Structure 1
Amino acid sequence: MNTISYGKKEIGYELQFSDRKTLGIAVYPDMNVVVTAPENVSKEKIQEKVKSKARWILKQLRTFEKYQPLSKPKDYVSGETHLYLGRQYVLKVEKAVDNQVKLKGKYLRVKTRNKKNAEELLYDWYRFKAQIHFNSILEDLLPEFEKHDLKIKELNIRKMNTRWGSCTPGGVITLNLHLIKAPKRCIEYVILHELCHLIHHKHDAAFYRLLNSKMPHWKRWKEKLEITLA
């Protein structure tokens, strides 16, 4: 990762070289800044160009930052609404002998010996459901990548503040726990995005060609995801 300083801000960017004749800068919704430069351009000239566009880059990053997945604070009390697979459910926290979380009609019912434990119980329930659904969707999508012989080492689930998902070249995929609140097609989009990254590590033309071939309307589901969980 390359960086330049602009005032008190530091801008990181990914540098790619190609046979293009001009230097281009792109800012993507996942907060990645990609600079594509001709092979013969010096690093000093590239940094100079990025610095000249710093104000524009920061403006784009601020715009996309508004749509990053951030967990809105909840009190975990009866009457609140909570999302699950794209649908809103009314939370009902009830005192009971045994701890239990289950869906019943339009209600997400949390039974607990101590109502202060509602948040922890709901977190564990979301994680349990996420493991089931994310693994199932991943298994359904993998046959589409059969010719690429992808090796998935591990699927991790955790809370993330600025990303829906990430992956490593070694085949470890990490997904944001909050995705379990989104519609299934939105989850499919994020998993497809990461599977495409295991083949094309950069956000280049080849990456987007592959993503388009697997999910032609991915932009619709990306937007739906951002609106649902913004």
Structure 2
Amino acid sequence: MVDSIHYGKQIIEFELQYSKRKSIGIKVLPTSSVEVTAPIGLGVDKIKEELLKKANWIIKQKSLMLNLDSNLVDYEVKSGYSVYYLGRKYKIVVEQSNKVEVFYKGNLFLINVKSKDKARAVFDKWLRERAMSKITEIAKPIIDKFSERFEAPEDIFFQNMSTRWGSCTISNKLIFNPKLIHTPKRCIEYVVMHELCHIVYKNHNQNFFNLLTMMMPDWEKRKEMLDCFA
């Protein structure tokens, strides 16, 4: 169902769905539309009350989505376009050069290539290698923290996934989407801890969320941030 709330002079429309979840979930999509998932049986008035508490955040996220130059995880490698790296927006500058290199300076990604039609391939290769290195670096202290209480693998793996940020296999192999490199460090930390908790509980049952909350008390705020990059 579609409903709305009034916040000052603004009207925030949202699509409401019910599920077996324990708390209200709010997601601002890249289209700037708002999805709300609420526990079964929770009254609309109570849902609107909670939405009003988050109204300022929703408006900021809607504004962010409306100002994006391109999809956060699908980008054009051409001068004038933008790409997100660790949650920060960088303008792309492609220049023809005898050197082939990628580096960033200030708020710019500078891509030097012998032929501009090779810019995408050069940048994608650099970004994937950077993602594997940086995500591993960010994951290490999270894995170390988890390992103080539970057994966890030392190595992590990477795989392109169209609908998931990460996964934990039956054999406890941790796999992460290189596209996480577009999201803030706090989001990467959340995904790593989320998948680590699946070593103990394979399903999203209450025990899983209790463990996640114990290991990372602010995970819901991190997830809200991550949802903006989905």
1:124 to partner: Cα distance: 1.3
1:220 counterpart = 2:221: yes
Cα RMSD (Å): 2.2
Give, in angstroms, the shift of residue 223 of structure 1. 1.1
Q: TM-score w.r.t. structure 1 length?
A: 0.66
Equivalent residues of 1:80, 1:90 under 8 A apart: yes
User: Based on CA coordinates, which of the two structures has the bigger radius of gyration?
Assistant: 1
Match of 1:150 in 2: 152
Structure 1: tracts of 5 or more residues without a match: 1-24, 30-69
Q: How many angstroms apart in 2 are the aligned matches of 1:114 and 1:190?
A: 37
In 1, Cα distance between equivalents of 2:207 and 2:168: 17
Identity of aligned residues (%): 34
Structure 2: unaligned runs, 5 residues or longer: 1-18, 26-70
Q: Is the Cα contact below 8 Å between 1:100 and 1:110 reproduced in 2?
A: yes
8 Å CA contact 2:153–2:173 kept in 1: the answer is no
Q: What is the aligned partner in structure 2 of residue 6 from structure 1?
A: none
Greater alpha carbon shift after TM alignment, 137-146 vs 201-210: 137-146
1:26 is matched with which residue: 20, 24, 28? 20
8 A Cα contact 1:86 1:181, kept in partner: yes
Q: Which residue is 1:198 aligned to?
A: 199
Q: What one-letter code is carried by the residue in structure 2 that aligns with 1:215? A: M
Determine the C-alpha separation between the residues in 2 that align with 1:27 and 1:185: 23
Q: How many residues align?
A: 165
Contact 1:71 1:161 in 2 (8 A): no
Asked if structure 1 preserves the Cα contact closer than 8 Å seen for 2:75 and 2:82, the reply is no
User: Per the alignment, in what secondary structure is the counterpart of residue 126 of structure 2?
Assistant: helix
Task: Name the CA distance, whole Å, in 2 between partners of 1:74 and 1:207.
Answer: 35
Structure 1 residues 209 and 149: CA distance shift in structure 2, 3 A = same
Q: Deviations over 1:10-46 (max 9, x none)?
A: xxxxxxxxxxxxxxx73799xxxxxxxxxxxxxxxxx
- 1:147, distance to aligned residue in structure 2 (A): 2.5
3-state SS of the aligned residue for 1:148? coil
For residues 133 and 73 of structure 1, what CA distance do their matches in structure 2 show?
Answer: 19
